[in-house]
A and B are shown apart, each in its own frame.
Chain A
Amino acid sequence: DAGVIQSPRHEVTEMGQEVTLRCKPISGHDYLFWYRQTMMRGLELLIYFNNNVPIDDSGMPEDRFSAKMPNASFSTLKIQPSEPRDSAVYFCASSPRGTLSSYNEQFFGPGTRLTVL
C-alpha cells in the first residue's frame, strides 16, 4: 500500500531556474495539500485541492509559485524563477474524502529538499 509519493527527493538548482516538484497522492484520497517547511517559518500550507480543483491558494507566497492537479493521481508545484529564499523542504500530503462527520487526518509524503544557489 503505497503512501504519498514525491519526486525528486532532493533538488539543487541555481537562482533563476525553473523548478518543478511532483506528487502522487494516495489512491482514493480526494484532497491534496502542498506545504513548505523552513526553520524560520515552520510548516506553511501553500495550497490545497479538492477533486483536482484548487480550493485555497492563500498561502502561495507570490506569483512565482504555481500548482496544478491535472488528474486525481498527480500534482505539480512549480517555481519560476527560483530564488535562494525558496530553499526549503516541500511536502505533499493527501487526505481522504471529508464530510461534516469525518475527520481530516492528512498523510504526508517524504518531501523534496530544495536548495537554490
Chain B
Amino acid sequence: DADVTQTPRNRITKTGKRIMLECSQTKGHDRMYWYRQDPGLGLQLIYYSFDVKDINKGEISDGYSVSRQAQAKFSLSLESAIPNQTALYFCATSVGGARTDTQYFGPGTRLTVL
C-alpha cells in the first residue's frame, strides 16, 4: 500500500552492527506495528504502538527496540544484529476504534545479516 512506506527496502549488514528500519504512513492511523516474516512461519509481531505514548512488546521483541517519533513514524532498531535476524520485516498500520483492526502493510524491508 503506497500510503505506508518503509526504508530501506533491502539491507545487508554484518553481525554486531546497529540497524534501523523506518516506517512512515500517510493514512492518519493511530496504530502501527512491526512484523517479521520467515519462510513457513507466517507473520510474527515484534512491537506495536497504539499511539505515540503507547508502545508494547509483541511475541518476539528480544533483540529489537522501537521508537514512535510521531503519529506517522515508527522505527525498528536492531541494536546488535545477528544472523538469525535475517528476515523480511513489515510495518503495518490500523485505524483504531474497532474491536480488531484491518491492517495495512508496507512493502517490506529485506534484511540480511552476515
Q: Do A and B come from one complex?
A: no
